[in-house]
Structure 1
Amino acid sequence: MAADGTALPAKGRSRIQERNRTRILDAALDVFSAHGFRGATLDQIAERAGMSKPNILYYFDGKEAIHVALLGALMETWIAPLRALGQTAEPKAALMDYIHAKLEMSRTMPRESRLFANEILQGAPRMGPHLESELKPLFDEKCALIRGWVSTRRIAPIDAEHFLMTIWAVTQHYADFEAQIDTLVPRDAHWARARRHVDAVFAPMLEPGAD
C-alpha cells in the first residue's frame, strides 16, 4: 500500500485502475463535503461511486486513506491563486485578481471548499502537515509582499494577515454556506451580483490614502 493510500504506485496503474480511482475520489468528494470526515462512511462512498465496498478497499486502505488522498491532490489547486499573487499587475490589481480568483473557485469548486472547511473545523488532523509545510511559508511570503506594497504607499495601510483571511472569509462563504445563500438570494445573476459587491467592499480599502 502506497503512502497516499493507493494499492499501486501511479506508474503501475492501468487505465481502468486510474479511472476507477478517479471515480472513487469524485464520489468521496461528494460524501465528505456533505457529511464531513466523521459523518462519511465507506458504504456511502461505494454507493455514490457505484462500486462495491471491497472494490473500494482494493484501491484505498480505508476511509482515512481516501480523505488524505483527496486533500493532498487538491492542496496545490487550492493555494494556486495565492501562489500567483504579485506575479503580474500592479498591487491593487493583483489583489483584486486574487479576490476574483477565490470567488470563482467558490462558484466552480464548492465541494472542495466544504471539504477543506470541514477538515479545518475538526482541527485539521489530516491536513495539519500541509498547512505547516505548504500554506504557512507561502502565506508569510505573500504577507511580506503586501507589507512591502504598504510601505511604499502603493496600496492603503492594511493588516496583511487579516486582509488575506478576510478575503477567505468573504469569498469562501459563498461555497461553504451555499444552501443558505440559495434560500436567501435568487439564483439569477447571483454571481455577478456577488462580484460587484465584493469589488465594492475590497477595492476602496486598497486605494492609497484610504486611511
Structure 2
Amino acid sequence: MRPPRIKAAPPVSKQIQRPATPAKKPKARSRVPSEATLNRRKRLMETKRSAIMEAALDVFSRYGLHGTSLDQVASQADVSKTNLLYYFASKEDLYINVLRQLMDVWLSPLKAFSVEQDPAEAIGDYLRVKLELSRDHPAESRLFCLEVIQGAPLLLGELQGSLRDIVESKVSVINAWIEAGKLAPVEPHHLIFSLWAMTQHYADFRTQVEAVSGRTLEDPAFFAETLTNLKALVLQGVCPRS
C-alpha cells in the first residue's frame, strides 16, 4: 500500500493574513471661538431678541394677551416659532418680559425726583418727559393700560413690589418738599396719580384726543401747548401761595 500523502502547507505568501489595525488618529481639538466671534454671536442674539420683543409689543397692544398667538409674533418678527421659543419659554413669559421692559421705561422719569431739586422744575421736567413717552411710545402705554384694566393678572406682583417701592420713595421726596415749604400741602400719592393720568391720557386715548382736537402730540405746536397747560394746571395747584 502506498503511504498516505501529506498535504504541504501553503506558501507563506498564500497564507491568510489579517489586515493590520490602522493606527488611531489623534482627536482633533475643538476650536475655541474667538472673543470677536462670541461678541458677534451675542449681538446677533440681542438683535433677534429685540426684534421679537418689538413685534410682541405691537401685537399684544392691539390684541391683548389672549387674542395674540406666538405664530403672529413670530411672523411679524420674521423668525420661526421654534426660534422664538428658544428666547422665551411661552407666550406668557414673552408678555411679562414686554411688560417689565415698558415699566422700566415709564418709571424712569419718576426715579429722577430728588430732594435736592427745585420741585417746580422737577415736576415740569417730569411732565415733559412723560408727554414725550406718550408721543413716542403709545403702544407701550396702551398695553400697560390694558393689563391694569384687566386686573393686572400677570403684573400684580410687579405693581405691589417694585412699583410701590419707587412710589413710596418719591412720596418721601414730595413730603420733604412740603415740609421745607417748597410745595403746598398735598397728599403725594394723589399728586403722582394725577401726573400719570394727565400725561398718559394722550397715549391711551390718542384717538379721542385727535377726534376732538384734530391734533396729536406729534404736532410740535400741540405738544408745546399741552406741556404749557399741564404745567400751569399742576404747578398753580401745588406751588406754595405767598
TM-score above 0.5: yes
Question: Counterpart amino acid of 2:150?
Answer: Q
CA distance in 2, matches of 1:141, 1:169: 20
Tell me if 1:75 matches 2:97.
no
The aligned runs of 1:86-101 (5 Å cut-off) are: 86=114, 89-101=117-129
- Provide the TM-score with structure 1 as the length reference: 0.85
Residue in 1 that maps onto 2:142: 114
Cα separation, 2, equivalents of 1:141 and 1:184: 37
State whether residues 91 and 154 of structure 1, in contact with CA within 8 Å, keep that contact through their aligned partners in structure 2. Answer: yes
Q: What is the alpha-carbon distance in structure 2 between the residues aligned to residue 145 and residue 87 of structure 1?
A: 5
Matched residue, 1:171: 199
Q: Which amino acid aligns with 1:203?
A: L
> How much has 1:146 moved relative to structure 2?
1.1
User: Which range moved further: 184-193 or 146-155?
Assistant: 184-193
Q: Which runs of 5+ in 1 are unaligned?
A: 1-10
Cα distance in 2 between the residues matched to 1:73 and 1:109: 12
CA distance in 2, matches of 1:18, 1:138: 28
What residue identity is the alignment partner of 2:233? V
Q: Distance in 1 between matches of 2:124 and 2:179?
A: 19
Higher helix proportion: 1
2:224 pairs with 1:196: no
Report matched runs for 1:117-196 at 5 Å. Answer: 117-187=145-215, 188=219, 189-196=221-228
Note the C-alpha offset of 1:169. Answer: 0.7
Q: How many angstroms does 1:17 deviate by?
A: 2.3
2:240 — aligned with what?
A: 208
Quote the RMSD (CA, aligned, Å). 2.1
Q: Which has the higher contact order (CA 8 A, sep 6+)?
A: 1
Number of the residue aligned with 2:84: 56
Q: Secondary structure at the match of 2:140?
A: helix
In structure 1, C-alpha distance between the alignment counterparts of 2:199 and 2:188, rounded to whole Å: 17
Partner-residue secondary structure (3-state), 2:64: helix
Amino acid of the residue matched to residue 119 of structure 1? E
In the alignment of these two chains, the number of paired residues is: 200
2:159 aligned partner, one-letter code: L
Structure 1 outlier segments of 4+, above 3 Å: none
Contact between 1:37 and 1:118, CA under 8 Å: does it hold in 2? no
Bigger radius of gyration among the two: 2
Could you state the TM-score of these two structures normalised by the residue count of structure 2?
0.75
- Paired with 1:85 and 1:109, the residues of 2 have a C-alpha distance of 22
Alpha-carbon shift at residue 78 of structure 1 (Å): 2.0
| Unaligned segments of structure 2, at least 5 residues | 1-38
For 2:11, the equivalent position in structure 1 comes to none
